Structure 1
Amino acid sequence: MVNKRIQKLLQNTRGRSRRAESSNRGLNGENESQVVTPPHSPSETPNTELELQHNVEHGEEGSSQRSQNTRGRTVMRDVHSLGPNDLLVVRFNERGQPYGEMQPTLSNFVGTIARNGNLLPLSFLDWRKIPKNRLDLAWGSVTARFCIPTRHRNIVMQIMGAAWRRWRTEVKATSYDPNIPFDELLQIRPVPHKLTPEVWETLCDYWKKNERTSKINRENAHKKQRIHAQGRINIPTLEDKFFQENGVKPTRIELLELSCRSKKKGGAPIDDEAIRHEALLNEAVKRHLQDMPEGTDPRQVHEQAFREVFGPEHSGRVRCLGAGALPSQVFPEQYKRSHCQGYDTASDVTEKFKEMEEKIKDMEAREGAR
């Protein structure tokens, strides 16, 4: 039985689809609303039943262990029970990131798939080593409830991979102790989440061998300076709300301020680090505005100030734009220039090839004359 929340989402989805069909806008502008009917294969049915059974088991287990004032783990029974004709539509921006009212629902549902031990077991030592057929089944479980085009599969699987790694980290934190031998650990704590003792021992050995790497990762995690204080609302959704209210897209400085402000504190910065960053950014913006001629685009000033305070971007990532934002999408001109330096263009290669052919012909003519 679908609850009231999902019924409302379905009504909004259908209303949006009817408006899109009546106006015949299709893919319009930077934000797109995708309405695609995913294929359903008979092979998805048994996996779906296993998945629902797994989520119900985890829901019952969580309800028996939780304390009086805490909620259990999200199992998304309402979304799992959707029929083939009740698909939820997710919107994606120009960078291929999900946003809008359906984004938290998609994120929560993908988390239940990542925690499905029948589909994506913890016995694999790395997300990249999970077989393709299992990943295809996981993707099919998502498209059986959401209308998501295939071109957005990478970002959805990226979200799923991050959720799977978080789940694995949580299991390690609650069930594993590097200071206790494995035989004693079995006597003190049960094997988690229906893993066999052999698989659990393999995991424990793997974690023990990589304890030094884990320590470095924990230290790097504690160095994180910026905190996202908007809960399940991701950066693209904040960006869209800002655009709807102001008619222009926010700069990265404005996105940083939006994501690091607390609702409980009346919109104040979440911590002292956020206050310090805002002060540094405001000072840099004022200094750049004084040096720039009149009529300079404020967005350009904000970008320069942001780079001055936070330094160069990490490889393959863009700060403050959320997961999935690539430098080639955000800075296309700069990306092309940096990647073209030191490489010949197609016309240059053709010219050099012709020159080599002419030299070879001259050498052959000289050999023939001798």
Structure 2
Amino acid sequence: MKRVYNFSAGPAVLPEPVLKKVQDELLNYRETGMSVMELSHRSAPFQNIIEEAQGLLRELLSIPDDYRVVFMQGGASLQFSMIPLNLLGEGQGADYIVTGSWSKKAVKEAEKVGDIRTLSLKEPFEIPVYTPEDFSPESSYVHITSNNTIEGTRFHKYPDTGRIPLIADMSSHILSEKIDVSSFGLIYAGAQKNLGPSGVTVAIIRDSLIGKAPDTCPTMMNYETYVKHDSLFNTPPTFSIYVLKLVLEWVKENGGVEGMQEHNERKAALLYNCIDESSLFHNPVPEKNRSLMNIPFSTGNDELDADFLKGAKAEGFEFLKGHRSVGGMRASLYNAMPLEGVKSLVDFMKKFESDRGGC
């Protein structure tokens, strides 16, 4: 069966060499006589897997020595609760910059724990530059969603929070472009977009933010639990961590984060240029805030959008339907999406427009 071009926002396309490696090792991982799915998380082979995964992530992102890398479950959605449970003491609060649907969900969970102040956008698709004066001096941290999967926006410049720790949900663009980890107190990401399959969540935490949870914080919601036990307090998502390690190896073999960024900028430019030059398709995001990963577009006509999606599926382009809250189409161009997939999509878009007389 021919593989399709998978433009899903997540779970997303994985590198084909990684899938083939998984296939090769599925029944017998490195002569253990077992699949990784059968290995004890306490065994030496799995210990090597998780240590290699941590080391690769540190290398690729140039993570400083005073940060810990932990693997958890629950996705970014669980982090919405873990962050305030760990970092907000009694009577304390935090600032949340609301740039889209996922940051709204993060606020909803944080409000159950502490006093949350929200900073909302004046224009829905334009994210301004923030300085320390924008935040409450008493804030325990500032939270952002650095790339908005649904809206197709991103920060073109990260907030300057001064002494206040900056925390970022980077689920949909981690490893896609260079970042300075030392600018953040905590970075977290669900794996199912750029890091690997669903089931594992990565958190990169500065040492100074560990051990702050009150005694009432549940053990499995406390970052210190994962740090003290090297992410092995309980059985972790072993197979997902194994595939994540293979994805990290693939990223390293293909130029690291710098190579991914160059690759992603080429793909995004190709699709954005097609949209901008079209008289049929439209993208609402100002150029400076356009995401490299998630590109929404539409014709402005629901019936025409439906025709486009039907034709695209017939041509082997999957999961292009936009999020139900915004409609239209959305192409997610994560690291593993090949340039050929974007070129083929652009060719189809041009043909679709031509067939309809440039309407």
What TM-score do the two structures reach when normalised by structure 2?
A: 0.22
> In proportion to residue count, which structure has more helix?
1
> In proportion to residue count, which structure has more strand?
2
